[in-house]
Structure 1
Amino acid sequence: MPIEIRPEPARQPEVEELLRLSDEFAFALYPAESCHLLDVSELERPGVTVFVARVDGLALGIAALVAGARPDALTDADALADAGARAELKRMFVHEDARGQGLARSLLGAVEAAAADAGIAELRLETGPLQHAAIALYERSGYARIPNFGAYVDDPWSVCYAKSLAVPTR
């Protein structure tokens, strides 16, 4: 099962279907106000790169790298001061038929590599406390629990993590 992961446009039927399934999954677990989901138009903004994981040509996973300042996520002076050094992982999702096969781990690795290549020193993310498999993946991958940041500060259904990335020297 060769996995191909690369940046692709968000506005395409297969990606939009994965986003729909991701929305469905999130809304089944959490109240609407705690589902901090980016839609297709937000995924098309400058500074956002959508990665698609394909197996035999079929899109089975997605993740977005959001670099630079996002007004809704950057609310504290610390975050605003070094927005270029931090990025956020958003919309990480693997189709239920492809879970447990290492696709999420590969997708996460591809996003981390792209972030490091772009000079991003820290990758942050938000997930929910009921997403045990996601939390286990992030912790196994070297992410540490951090205080909730930005739009997640007062959300009891948010759990935030961060990982320092080895930025290549140029």
Structure 2
Amino acid sequence: MLELRPVSFDHPDAVRLIAEVQAFYRLRYGDEDATPVDPAQFAAPLGFFTVGYVDGTPVACGGWRARDAGEDPSLADGDAEVKRMYVDDAHRGRGYARSVLAELERTAVAAGRRRAVLETGTKQPEAIALYVSCGYTPIAPFGAYRCEPNSRCYAKEIGAGAARRPGARAADGVPLG
């Protein structure tokens, strides 16, 4: 069973998993994700980071940071950008990524965020499939991803408006709102 714990972006378990995801990117893309990231962006109330543990071992992570329209024309006030979603190789295929994503959506809604946005790459079809299956739809590339041909950006309404839509659910199937 996956136990999700809120941690700082620079917590040792988060740092180890982030290093693993960067190694994964090097294998798939030939380079790391060089998107500027400040650990302070993932601290409440304008961000969140979690690590998932199985029997005390860190196996998954993910976070969000607040983004707003003034930063980029493709963003909207109240956006939460999902970053560093990762499950280690040995624990994939068990629904852990869906659980992490649902926790990110719930905490973003609790912090007043209205839409989750994210970027993934064309060489990660499993990530694209996860996001689409969780209700994410394609949007125009934003920020550092605007000129990246291998980037695909997605968004999902998660805030009060989403909760009023019949059948609106978090990534794990639990109703929003």
Same structural fold, with TM-score higher than 0.5 when normalized by the shorter chain: yes
- Please name the residue that 2:72 is paired with: 75
Provide the TM-score with structure 1 as the length reference: 0.84
How far off its partner does 1:151 sit? Answer: 1.5
How far off its partner does 1:110 sit? Answer: 0.5
- Please name the residue that 1:109 is paired with: 102
**Residue 54 of structure 2 corresponds to residue 58 of structure 1:** no
- Please name the residue that 1:44 is paired with: 40
Supply the distance in 2 between the matched residues of 1:24 and 1:136 (Cα, whole angstroms): 21
- Please name the residue that 1:35 is paired with: 33
| Higher RCO (C-alpha 8 Å, min separation 6) | 1
- Please say if residues 61 and 107 of structure 1, whose CA atoms lie closer than 8 Å, have aligned partners that are also in contact: yes
Where in structure 2 are the equivalents of 1:123-142 lying within 5 Å? 123-142=116-135
Provide the TM-score with structure 2 as the length reference: 0.80
- Please name the residue that 1:99 is paired with: 92
Aligned residues: 160
Aligned partner letter, 1:88: E
Deviations 1:98-121 (A, max 9, x none): 100110010000001111111211
Aligned residues: percent identity?
32
Supply the distance in 2 between the matched residues of 1:38 and 1:21 (Cα, whole angstroms): 18
Deviations 1:20-46 (A, max 9, x none): 1100101222243x724455xx12335
Aligned partner letter, 1:153: R
